[in-house]
Structure 1
Amino acid sequence: MSHPQEATEDDLAPTETQGYKVGQSKTVAELAALDQEDESLQRWKASLGLAASAGAGGNKKVVLKTLFLSSPTLSKDISIDLTQPAADLAKLKKEPLTIKEGVEYSVGITFTVENEIVSGLRFLQVVKRSGVKVDKTEAMLGSYGPQPAPYTKVFASEESPSGMLARSGTYSVKSRVTDDDNNIWLDFEWSFKLAKEW
């Protein structure tokens, strides 16, 4: 039996779009080899990072770098380094971040894609308080080709709850990043509390 505050697999199941079928997966090399006679198409594919040599390095891999929170009321973003050791990340479940009540904020992530194209990346996040789901975020990130520079995605802004009741507990959060092939690239638990100031 799971702990009452933990997000269940059903909470983190992506919404299925009726009629959507995942397309056939092709490697970067296969895509680069298509339409070899079309010079302008080859230049366009090269600008997307689809050069024939780009996919020669192994299996596709999405590396999550940071999960961050930004707000007009913050002088510097609150950032969680997702590349730190698992033991250090696990501490964030018991050592909550502080978020100011009643302010507009946005959550975002940075990540890199290595070796092959990843399709249908999706961000899922469930927030619970005392075991009750209070918020769920599901955002389609899209499909990305391999490149050394990180991609950054910021989600729609929200307003943090306010009031004495909202400040009286700790919120548990489970964040997950998946793709169309059902790979789970991030499965991370953390917590936060609301306060009058950051």
Structure 2
Amino acid sequence: MAEKLSAFYDVGEEDEEEDDKSNGVAADGFIPGPLVSLKEQIEKDKHDESLRRWKEKLLGSLEGDLNGQMEPEVKFHSIGIISEDFGEITTALPVAENQIDRVLFTLQEGSQYRLKITFSVLHNIVSGLTYSNTVWKGGLQVDQSRGMLGTFAPNKELYVHTLEEETTPSGLLARGIYSAKLKFEDDDRRCHMELQYSFEIKKGI
């Protein structure tokens, strides 16, 4: 983020639109296979004892979720910010409508931080879960980061994932309120969450 602000006034919202269009097809031409329900996947090899035990170990006790639903569901429970400035701040998801425009956190310029996401997976395996985080200031796009979270099976336990470390920019132009959009998609281009939020960068001590 800090490096990208060197071109602060040269990056606009058009870039995000171009990125979105280019993401319509996977860069490597990968096409996901047909979706199979979790119930069918488990029952497929029920006569192979070793494979059945392996699947049970991988998926855990999921009898209550074997309803034949094809599409996986990813539920996001919280978003956290981890920083040396203040430790950790956690916000429950979804954010209430009257809280959407509030500043979720404030960081000092030149500081390191990470976003932490807590989520659960229901009904089926979610494959290739990715995130993109786009940041604007004064209507201009100033940063965009993308990353892969991975493939996750339904589980009664929550998944906790910390995104890559970012560094806030420094200087007079860097200070102020930023708006951002955090988006999670899987291999099949299903959007599981799109969160708009705001944060502030203030002068360092």
- Answer yes or no: is 1:65 the counterpart of 2:70: no
Normalising to structure 2: TM-score of the pair? Answer: 0.80
- Answer yes or no: is 1:119 the counterpart of 2:130: no
| Structure 2 counterpart of 1:80 | 91
SS of 2:46's equivalent in the other structure is coil
Q: Which amino acid aligns with 1:109?
A: I
Q: Structure 2 CA distance, aligned partners of 1:11 and 1:96? A: 26
Unaligned runs of 5+ in 1: none
Q: Give the drift of 1:112.
A: 0.5
Provide, for residues 21-67 of structure 1, a one-character-per-residue CA deviation record: whole Å limited to 9, x for no partner.
Answer: 11221111111122223222211110111668342274532111112
Q: Structure 2 CA distance, aligned partners of 1:149 and 1:191? A: 29
SS of 1:91's equivalent in the other structure is coil
- Answer yes or no: is 1:28 the counterpart of 2:35: no
Structure 1 residues 158, 13: closer, same or farther in 2, change over 3 A? Answer: farther
SS of 2:74's equivalent in the other structure is strand
Pick aligned residue for 2:201 from 183, 188, 194: 194
| Structure 1 counterpart of 2:50 | 40
Provide, for residues 111-151 of structure 1, a one-character-per-residue CA deviation record: whole Å limited to 9, x for no partner.
Answer: 00112222221111100112221111111112211112111
The sequence identity of aligned pairs, in percent, is 31
Structure 1 residues 13, 43: closer, same or farther in 2, change over 3 A? Answer: farther
SS of 2:39's equivalent in the other structure is helix
Q: Give the drift of 1:19.
A: 2.5
| Structure 2 counterpart of 1:139 | 147
CA contact (8 A) 2:60 2:155 kept: no
More helix by share: 2
Q: CA RMSD in A?
A: 2.7
Q: Structure 2 CA distance, aligned partners of 1:117 and 1:186? A: 17
Structure 1 residues 63, 96: closer, same or farther in 2, change over 3 A? Answer: closer
Aligned length: 190
**In terms of mean alpha carbon deviation, does 7-16 or 171-180 score higher?**
7-16
Provide, for residues 44-94 of structure 1, a one-character-per-residue CA deviation record: whole Å limited to 9, x for no partner.
Answer: 1101116683422745321111122112x1443122211343x134233xx
Q: Structure 2 CA distance, aligned partners of 1:77 and 1:14? A: 35
Normalising to structure 1: TM-score of the pair? Answer: 0.82
Q: Structure 2 CA distance, aligned partners of 1:81 and 1:10? A: 32
